[in-house]
Amino acid sequence: MEKKLRTFKSNNWVTAETAGLLESKDLAQLLYTMIMELNVLTRIGFSKKTREGTYHIEELYDVVKTNFAGLCDDKCFEANGYKRAPKWKHVVRCALDVLKEQEVIIKLPRRGYWMF
């Protein structure tokens, strides 16, 4: 059975340099796919050892930025909504929501905390 890749679906992401270009959207989709397929949020680095415990979202942002610095442009914001945060952080939040739906992780009642 062939595994279907899920991709982040948003075309609202622009910077002054990338307005109207597909490159920005493609980078977001690539980052989302990398997070979901390589499980960098649930695994420690690229090892098979799973992450355990409670983590704040800022710690998870650091994990993603460390592993995929080239895909995390802090100057690239979403055109609609989340205007105060770079778009790559929105991709991370979307990936966390999907992992929560798949019951891989748990969203804690305290704002910004996730349990692995």
Is pLDDT of 14 > 60? no
Is pLDDT of 74 > 60? yes
pLDDT reported for residue 81: 59
Query: Which residues on neighbouring strands pair with residue 107, listed in sequence order?
Result: 114
Predicted model pTM: 0.75
Tokens 């952080």 found at: 89
pLDDT reported for residue 50: 83
Beta strands at 13-14 and 77-78: parallel, antiparallel or unpaired: antiparallel
Largest pairwise CA distance in the chain: 43
DSSP E strand stretches across the chain: 13-14, 54-56, 77-78, 106-107, 113-115
Per-residue DSSP letter, 43:
B
pLDDT band with cut points at 50, 70 and 90 for residue 79: low
Query: pLDDT of 23-67, one tens digit each?
Result: 566 778 888 888 888 888 888 767 778 888 899 999 999 999 988
Which two tokens mark 26? 């493609």
What does the alpha-carbon distance between residue 62 and residue 82 come to, in Å, rounded to a whole number? 19
What does the alpha-carbon distance between residue 40 and residue 12 come to, in Å, rounded to a whole number? 25
Residue 61's CB: how many other CB atoms inside 10 A?
17
pLDDT reported for residue 54: 92
Domain ranges of the chain: 60-101
Which two tokens mark 34? 């990398």
